[in-house]
Amino acid sequence: MKVKYIGESFGIDSLTNGKIYMAVEDDGMYRVVDDSDEDYLYSKINPAPLDGSAPGGKWEIVEQKDEIRKAERIDIMFLASLASLPEVWGGNEEELREDFEQLLDSEKDLVAVAEFSGKIVGFANIRLRSEYVAGTKSSPVAYLEGIAVSEEFRGKGIAKKLFEFCADWAKEKGCKEFGSDCLLTNEASYAFHMALGFKEIERTVHFAKTI
């Protein structure tokens, strides 16, 4: 969402009176990309410097709507948190934040987010692949690298909307086909893919050994 800071400006790179900022809700506060171009937590009631050097001010919500949109820097912490879930990508959140920073800078990747009531509740990542993708005949192919929705928002069609947003982007990039994969044990993911119109191409078993 977008919020306007109203109050005494403070800091060289903090908040400026009358300026509009991108923000998302984070544990009862606003995470805001301020004048430093970094994201910091500010009080929703009285955003002010921690050292008390200025009285601070208040926020005015300029725009808040439920939407699927392209991810921005301010979303990275939420993206990493969702992606770290075992059923998504798993792994260390700090490393995932670095991964998402690279994805947001990549021309071959799209990271889309679902924002509802000022909160990030889901994401999808697709990549343009020029190498062969099983079952496809064209190039590049859009590949669904990951998709996830917060548990309390599942069953509301959000994942489908994320996919459709990604599909529109892929078409604009010249893609005619979509690829994806899931673990054989992930029945929910399998059902999701089939509901979107994917067709199963093949099943594989991966091997490894030490040498």
> What mean pLDDT comes out for the span 202-210?
92
Residue 66's identity, in one-letter code, is D
Taking all residues of the chain, what is their mean pLDDT, rounded to a whole number? Answer: 92
Instruction: Read off the pLDDT band of 64 (50, 70, 90).
Output: confident
Residue pLDDT, tens place only, 108-123? 999 999 998 888 999 9
What's the pTM value of the predicted model, to 2 decimals?
Answer: 0.80
SS3 153: helix
Residue pLDDT, tens place only, 141-191? 999 999 999 988 999 999 999 999 999 999 999 999 999 999 888 899 999
Which structure tokens are listed for 117? 């009531």
String of b and e for 51-77 (b: at least 16 CB within 10 Å)? eeeeebbebeeeeeeeebeebeebbbb
d(CA 57, CA 63): 19
Q: Rounded to the nearest 5°, which phi and psi values hold at 113?
A: -125, 155
Which structure tokens are listed for 98? 């670095």
* Whether residue 13 has pLDDT greater than 80: no
